[in-house]
Amino acid sequence: MSVHRLKKLPSSEPVSSFENQGVPLKTALLDTTLNLNSPKTHKTIVFPQQQNTEKLITRLQIECEGEKAHKQHLLQTFNAMKYIKTIRPADPSQLEAKKIILPKRKKTKKTLVFDLDETLVHCCSNINQADVIIDIKMPNGEFMKCGINIRPYVHECLLAANINYEIIIFTASHRCYADTVLDYLDPTHELIHHRLYRENCIVTDNLYIKDLRILDNRKIEDIVIVDNAAYSFAYQIDNGVPIISWYSDPNDKELFNLIEYLGVLSNFKDVRVANRRMFHLHTFYNDYLHEFTMENKENTVIVSQ
């Protein structure tokens, strides 16, 4: 998560405790005292004489992968913001047909919508490289094996978010796949309260968009959506938290760092105010293009000298 430097906010605003430096969640948020010992954290035993070298190599590998993921995230967000400008408005009749009424939630809680794939889990093309292999029952009754990787700190994040939010998983995947994965992640159905699928998406320009207006009895200012694909929340940009896509990195801490930001959002009467100040997604395309142009000009001047 991260896109642009924050403007200085008055100290009375909860979000002013964050200084977004155009970096992922792991460095955009303040250090916390939460438990860092995720079940997904693996320790490697090495001999004493190897420790310094091994630690250095590991640190460099992590930093390299982190920088690569961050650059890809910025590029994906840039392209998404560019494309969003061309997306047609939702068809009113389709939107009306998609609307649903959810059970009442506590007035003190807001609504948190999570994407599934590349946000919480990753479906592996090679099941031999997967963390977990699950059997998915297809609509025709046949079973298919599917390998998934589970993002570090998924359970910690869901557990912490439950304090201030009702949790909805909104995926563009098919129901048979999503339900099997979610039943594995939350077998008691205590962490995730509602599930929405591909059939709940608004289809526009061959895209499956998660239009939050389908939640007919939820106020838009109370809804947060976390998704690795920014175009997924194209119709409600200011409700979105664009998180870095995840595939297999065991050192990823985006969900861990998200916990603190969700706590900040829960204190806002309108979550869009905080997101607008944190991410600047409405101006991200122009800002990113301007920064890229200025950087190239500076490099050109240096070379010419």
For the question of residue 117 being annotated catalytic, the response is yes
The pairing of strands 165-170 and 194-196 is: parallel
How many CB atoms are located within 10 Å of the residue 198 CB?
15
Catalytic residue (one of 117, 227, 238, 249): 117
Q: Which long-range contacts (CB under 8 A, 24 or more apart) does 268-273 make?
A: 268/14, 268/15, 269/221, 270/221, 271/110, 271/221, 271/222, 271/223, 271/224, 271/239, 272/220, 272/221, 272/238, 272/239
**DSSP characters over 85-132:** TTPPPPPHHHHHHH-B-PPP--TT-EEEEE--BTTTEEEESSGGG-SE
Q: Are 194 and 166 in contact (CB under 8 A)?
A: yes
Q: Which of 31, 115, 179, 238 is catalytic?
A: 115
Long-range contacts of 103-108 (CB under 8 A, 24+ apart): 104/217, 105/166, 105/193, 106/166, 108/164
3-class secondary structure, 141 = coil
What pairing do the DSSP bridges indicate for beta strands 121-124 and 143-150?
antiparallel
Contact (CB, 8 A) for 132 and 178: no
Catalytic status, residue 287? no
Cα 203 to chain centroid distance, Å, stands at 21
Query: CA 41 to CA 234: how far, in whole Å?
Result: 34
Instruction: Considering only the C-alpha atoms of the chain, give the largest distance between any 2 of them, rounded to a whole number of Å.
Output: 70
* 28 touches 2 (CB < 8 A): yes
Which sequence positions are flagged as catalytic?
115, 117
